[in-house]
Structure 1
């Protein structure tokens, strides 16, 4: 009998409140086991105040509740990973090289903010990778609430990389050397569409099959069905956060770093259709991707019999992924991930 699919829960409070060496070692070991077997983890004890997430959820409602023509004022060109993205203007599966080029069919709408050149005045960073943020004046509570949550999500991400160093047998602070000016992005998603916006044909793609691109993703989400994770059994499994938990998954750069010891797990979003309408679902993914000029190559504790991954900079990797999802250019460098998706679809 196969083991039922579950997302493990890890209490990271020893890394938040300063636990004992034994407590930290237990948390690191539990995360390592989850990262090797599932690739998705629920973390509790993260210390994000409920007042911050409540205000953040209200801010999402304020912005996404605006008329579409108002939201579109804050749209940026595809190569600028900031601002508003209307429904059916992206295709996440193209980041894996799947789906026909220019078939932009994912029906979610989103708003992105992230690390900007102005955040690092002492560094000469490329504005193409660190563009300035766009803030909607029509939603006055949006910016302060989003910035407050973004700061908490960034703290959680960096707390996790401290845990990662322990779990992987690396020197304390190892990942700090790769994340001093990390390409961090907060993507806020909304899956409720206006009536008549599209035809409910039973085969809608909220967000296509994809792996995340960077080091680690911190995900806040409603307790609404829709997120599905590809298990080792080749099937898609529903995942929903427990009360107060954040969902954590690892990106392609961490898979490269660990020589696939840790999984960059394929996932997608297919919100259910209830009474002829799409069930409303909100989520916000904080992507902690690393410094644009950092070179990612197999960690010394993970080399084993060799690595299939050549060295790559964070910037090179992220640009290829974004060219797929946002600009409709299929990524040719993700054959291994694409093969896993096709196997789950029976080779279709």
Structure 2
């Protein structure tokens, strides 16, 4: 069910505690549907991911980013998401918008990254970064084990959110299941260092962008703001960090699957005010479909735009090549 909104009133908080009963599941699905039509963002609590696991993930990831750059560079991996990226490795090029490099360092892995080379070779071309092997740092102790445990937990949560999304759309609950049975999903950590003294004009911790997968499940650091979403009037609205909650938003492929009924919303991470010397950590999980999944609205949603969608026509696409094109642009800043 939907709970109180965040202080800015644009992103609802949805309690998933009742999703294990038919009545509760229907109520949660309805709340998700409303959120995805209005803002494309919501916050979930009562999600079942152990609080201790989130704390361990937060701690071990902070310890990694505290290592010297030279040590982190040992697990650098190009192109794209796998491994470590220094500050400036991404920009808003994925939406064809010129912008300065982001003020963010990052580390990432894929659910497919620990498969053997032959299995990964069947998952797409060289810009399909989920075909790359994961590279794991030797320090801090327990890093790989903690990341894999966290990855499994949020992946399970994302799969259930997709089932709830299908219900919200009037589809069979398992409509999306065969589109994610060898998914190329990724887990990343974004570390925003203290504000530089002289950022470039328009340079942000993370420039305006949309996510391009199905949905994103984001852990935000408690007490550290900065995430903003753009509303239909073009205003930037703050998304507060809810203790124990995850921010969820849909991506471009989900907007395509719904014929534009649901919106993939522009968002950004703004710089702290002058004099603020704090850093910030966020951990997004990107739920990405199979590389060979066909993405097109089912017949019941094909005319969604005429019934209140975004008015665009969405042609049929294959997920892998489409996502690879987005990734190529996203990491253009690092080339």
Alignment TM-score, normalising by the size of structure 2:
0.88
Aligned to 2:76: 75
Give the Cα separation in 2 of the matches to 1:276 and 1:217: 28
Aligned to 2:314: 309
> Where in structure 2 are the equivalents of 1:44-193 lying within 5 Å?
44-77=45-78, 79-91=79-91, 93-99=92-98, 105-116=101-112, 118-119=114-115, 124-126=122-124, 128=126, 129=128, 130-193=131-194
Gaps of 5+ in 1: 330-348
> Where in structure 2 are the equivalents of 1:279-290 lying within 5 Å?
279-290=278-289
Could you say what secondary structure the match of 1:42 adopts? strand
> Do the aligned partners of residues 7 and 325 (structure 1) sit closer, same or farther apart at CA in structure 2, a change above 3 Å counting?
same
Aligned to 2:327: 322
> Would the aligned equivalents of 1:117 and 1:125 in 2 still touch at CA under 8 Å?
no
> Would the aligned equivalents of 1:10 and 1:42 in 2 still touch at CA under 8 Å?
yes
- Equivalenced residue count is 317
> Where in structure 2 are the equivalents of 1:222-233 lying within 5 Å?
222-223=221-222, 224-233=224-233
Q: 1:140: Cα distance to partner? A: 1.9
Aligned to 1:215: 214
Query: What is the root-mean-square deviation in Å for CA atoms of aligned residues?
Result: 2.4
Aligned to 2:254: 254
Gaps of 5+ in 2: 1-6
Q: 1:192: Cα distance to partner? A: 1.5
Give the Cα separation in 1 of the matches to 2:260 and 2:242: 27
Listed one character per residue, the Cα deviations across residues 285-338 of structure 1 (whole Å, up to 9, x for unaligned) are 100010000010112221125960111111122111111111249xxxxxxxxx
Aligned to 1:33: 34
Q: 1:164: Cα distance to partner? A: 1.0
Alignment TM-score, normalising by the size of structure 1:
0.85
> Would the aligned equivalents of 2:184 and 2:288 in 1 still touch at CA under 8 Å?
yes
> Would the aligned equivalents of 1:213 and 1:321 in 2 still touch at CA under 8 Å?
yes
Give the Cα separation in 1 of the matches to 2:110 and 2:260: 27
